[in-house]
Amino acid sequence: MKSIGNLIVISGPSGSGKGTVCHALTQENPSLVVSVSATTRKPRGAEKHGIDYFFLTREQFEEMIAGDRLLEWADVYGNYYGTPREPVEKNLSTGRDVILEIDVQGGLQVKNKFPQCVLIFLIPPSRDHLETRLKQRGTESAGDIERRLSWAERELKEVQKYDYLVINDRVEEAARKIGAIVTAERCRPALLDVESFLKTNWK
């Protein structure tokens, strides 16, 4: 009975565990499609082009902006991040649910373009937890970590604009809660081909 897919946006401060939770979520829900974002930042660790991100030059990214080929984009910490439009719209049109793992700026842009999307704000249980996670990554300087913590405090002011708030204390529990949200959203009549279902089954 599904006619179009759900667009699920998962946002949160850098270091909130969005990638880890999304991985756990898709392990339990393999039908979910996680959109691959584009960025101009350098790869970290074992990150691979086309799998973790599309790693682009600033010139390539700006060409995508000019061509309206991004669903959303933002300049975060001096690097561009954005969501390629075409693969998201293609999956939604075939009835597949799509997860966007993006920052708060991007999430609110998507909400303006797709009011029917579902916004989920993911956050660690405390500022101290977030600081510890950022330090454990070992990819930023002390100055970078302080900037990210300051930015996280600003992002938290936008939480009331989101549909759901999930605290990421344990990855498995956070993924379970988001999975429950996805299941509930699939039952919304506006996203189902109710008319065809009733004509076929309730003549």
pLDDT for 196 equals 65
Q: What is the mean pLDDT of the chain?
A: 88
Q: Phi first, then psi: what are they for 77, rounded to 5°? A: 55, 35
CB atoms within 10 A of CB 81: 22
In three-state secondary structure terms, 123 is strand
In a domain? residue 90: yes
In a domain? residue 86: yes
> Which one, of 177, 157, 156, lies nearest residue 168 by Cα?
177
In a domain? residue 2: no
In a domain? residue 108: yes
pLDDT for 198 equals 60
Domain that holds residue 57: 7-201
pLDDT for 190 equals 62
In a domain? residue 93: yes
CATH number reported for the structural domain that contains residue 175 in this entry: 3.40.50.300
In a domain? residue 136: yes
In a domain? residue 139: yes
Spatial distance between the Cα atoms of 142 and 170, rounded to a whole number of angstroms: 26
In a domain? residue 1: no
* pLDDT, one tens digit for every residue, the chain (203 residues): 557 899 999 999 888 889 899 999 999 998 899 999 999 999 988 899 998 899 999 999 999 999 999 999 988 778 999 999 999 999 999 989 999 998 888 899 999 888 989 999 999 988 888 888 888 877 778 888 888 888 788 888 999 999 999 999 999 999 999 999 999 998 876 656 656 666 677 76
pLDDT for 177 equals 96
Q: How far is CA 156 from the centre of its chain?
A: 16
Total domain count, the chain: 1
